[in-house]
Amino acid sequence: MPSIRRQLLPGDFGEIVALHGRIYSGEWGHDETFEAMVASSVVDAAAQGFPGPREGIWIVEDDGSVVGSLGLSDEGDGEARVRWFVLDPSLRGQGLGRTLLDELFAKVEQAGYARVTLETFSDLEAAAHLYREHGLELVWEDTRPRWGRPAVTYQRYELALVPAHSTPAA
């Protein structure tokens, strides 16, 4: 049974990037430019000191190997971003993704963010179902050649929240 680690250790960033590269090239035919995009987002987060106090990381391990990840980054101005959500295919359909997102959204609420965003692509229908269950809504999409494929529909989801430290207007 896999375990979930909630702290970042040396080597985890590289494992997150490699896992994305392996899974998405195998399942969706993405080339190395997809892995480079993930690497760029990881490098940017690391350069900003990720994870900070309002951020989180969930590393899924099985027999000492990283087999999944999820990140929550503070984008500033009240925005939280869901990042690096990937699970080895053998772990899907067991509720683990839902558990990870439940924990992430508990962190979002505790931190008092005003909105949550994420970017993904339309082929990931099961993940999109989980995002919608948590209240995220598709706000834009763009279809064009990407990552070595003739057409990929890139999407952005958002959820506006009332920050925990605010009270709604009467």
Q: Above 90 in pLDDT, residue 163?
A: no
State how far the Cα of 14 lies from the Cα of 104, in Å rounded to an integer.
21
Q: Which domain holds residue 149?
A: 3-160
pLDDT reading at 167 higher than 70: no
| Model confidence, pTM | 0.92
What burial class does residue 89 get, using C-beta atoms within 10 Å of its C-beta: 0-12 exposed, 13-18 middle, 19+ buried? exposed
What DSSP letter does each residue of 22-88 carry, written as one string?
HHHHHHH---HHHHHHHHHHHHHHHHTTSS-TT-EEEEEEETTEEEEEEEEEEEETTEEEEEEEEE-
Assess contact for 88 and 65: CB atoms under 8 A.
Answer: no
* DSSP string covering 97-134: HHHHHHHHHHHHHHHT-SEEEEEEETT-HHHHHHHHHT
Is residue 164 pLDDT above 80, yes or no? Answer: no
Asked, for residue 167, whether it belongs to a domain, the answer is no
Q: Is 148 part of a structural domain of the chain?
A: yes
Residue 115 pLDDT more than 90? yes
Residue 61 lies in a domain: yes
Domain contains 170: no
Instruction: Encode pLDDT of 23-39 as tens digits.
Output: 999 999 999 999 999 99
pLDDT at 53: 95
Q: How many domains, in total, are found in the chain? A: 1
- Decide if pLDDT at 7 tops 90: yes
Q: Please indicate, yes or no, if residue 169 is contained in any of the structural domains.
A: no
Domain contains 142: yes
Residue 165 lies in a domain: no
Across 15-24, 59-68, 120-129, 154-163, least confident range: 154-163
Reported confidence tier of residue 1, pLDDT bands at 50, 70, 90: confident
Question: In this predicted structure, what is the pLDDT of residue 166?
Answer: 52
Residue 33 lies in a domain: yes
CATH number at residue 153: 3.40.630.30
